[in-house]
């Protein structure tokens, strides 16, 4: 049996501690940047130069590795664009947070389950149309009527239509919403607060 070395690499690990408390850990392999990561207050942050484009989508549509710009070693060492660092929680918690700790407003999905269970919308197609017409606040990415499958019908209902929504709230409204419902974003109160704003402009 023969064992031989096929390849040797020189790996170095570095940490940059910026004055504002942000940390950047990066790795050099044979003198070339192979990995870096920003952290602040125990969260991992990514560099994004167009946050408006990201927050216009639901977090499930984010494609970080395909669209986020890559920084060079020189840019890391001279970095001062902290307003372009964001935490993207994605499937872990759905949050997008800036370096100052502000959770940014991103589109919220009220799917057929949310609307049927939390908002008790299981009715006629015509009434669903009237409900959708009454929702005039917020920035809508999607509004639609959905026919509930028979295995999810409520026994006390004669008609079985509900609605689906994807909507983005103004930042101040979103901040109030999550402040009021911080411990439970899957509660009747949470969804009713959203729905009330969409109809009345108040929360």
pLDDT in 10s for each residue of the chain, 203 residues: 888 888 888 999 999 999 999 999 999 999 999 999 999 999 999 999 989 988 888 877 766 555 678 999 999 999 999 999 999 987 667 889 999 999 999 999 998 888 888 889 999 999 999 999 999 999 999 999 999 999 889 889 999 999 999 999 999 999 999 888 767 777 888 899 999 999 999 98
The sign of the CA dihedral 181, 187, 189, 195 is: positive
Residue with tokens 């902290």: 82
This prediction has a pTM of: 0.85
Name every residue whose Cβ is closer than 8 Å to that of residue 200 and which is 6 or more positions away in sequence.
Answer: 137
Longest Cα separation, the chain? 79
Across-strand partners of 46?
A: 86
């Amino acid at each position: 049996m023969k064992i031989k070395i096929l390849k040797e690499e020189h790996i170095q690990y570095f940490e940059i501690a910026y004055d504002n408390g942000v940390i950047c850990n990066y790795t050099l392999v044979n003198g070339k940047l192979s990995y870096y990561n920003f952290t602040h207050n125990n969260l991992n942050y990514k560099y994004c130069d167009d946050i408006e484009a990201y927050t216009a989508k639901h977090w499930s549509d984010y494609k970080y590795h395909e669209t986020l710009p890559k920084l060079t070693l020189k840019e890391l060492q001279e970095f001062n664009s902290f307003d372009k660092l964001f935490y993207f929680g994605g499937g872990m918690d759905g949050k997008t947070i800036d370096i100052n700790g502000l959770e940014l407003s991103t589109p919220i999905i009220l799917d057929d389950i949310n609307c049927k269970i939390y908002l008790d919308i299981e009715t006629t197609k015509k009434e669903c149309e009237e409900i959708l017409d009454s929702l005039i606040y917020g920035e809508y990415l999607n509004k639609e009527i959905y026919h509930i499958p028979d295995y999810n019908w409520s026994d006390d209902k004669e008609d079985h239509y509900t609605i689906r929504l994807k909507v983005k709230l103004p930042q101040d409204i979103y901040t109030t919403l999550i402040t009021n419902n911080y411990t439970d974003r899957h509660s009747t109160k949470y969804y009713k607060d959203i729905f009330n704003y969409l109809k009345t402009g108040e929360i």
